[in-house]
Structure 1
């Protein structure tokens, strides 16, 4: 029987990122992994090793005065 380590959680998240899934999809899998470690494997210490990835803020499109003038004309 293989015992789970903190490295498994980290490698799984790295796998998700490298496979190209979106940040929201990655974060949606976190509760499932936490359930696996906490309930199925009884490894409460590993839940602390799992992290959520925050999405980068989007910069709003701001038009220059010249572009606004061009649109309005």
Structure 2
């Protein structure tokens, strides 16, 4: 269900069928997701769904290579000072 949802969102973003997508469309979609505050886990889920669509269903390796996995930002742990401890 998640894969279908991600492909549906990609098609809605394109306003046409995903099989007509170009590498520039994929780049714009990922940038759109990032700029609208979509989290890395959701973006990576969309990457997996679209990668499956392009590799297995459409046999379009060229488009699958354009997809970029997002890295989760790492936060440093809070360290207490001697006075705070």
TM range (shorter): 0.7 to 0.9
Matched residue, 2:69: 52
* Structure 1 unaligned spans of 5+: 69-73
3-state SS in 2 of match to 1:20: coil
The C-alpha deviation readout for 1:10-58, integer Å capped at 9, x for no partner, is 1111121122211111111111111121123221111111111101111
Equivalent position of 1:71 in the other structure: none
Task: Give the distance between the partners of 1:12 and 1:36, measured in 2 at CA.
Answer: 15
Q: How much is the aligned-residue C-alpha RMSD, in angstroms?
A: 1.8
Structure 2, unpaired ranges of 5+:
1-16
What is the deviation of 1:66? 1.3
Q: Which stretches of structure 1, 4 residues or longer, exceed 3 Å deviation after superposition?
A: none
Structure of larger gyration radius? 1
Q: Could you state the TM-score of these two structures normalised by the residue count of structure 2?
A: 0.69
The size of the alignment, in residue pairs, is: 68
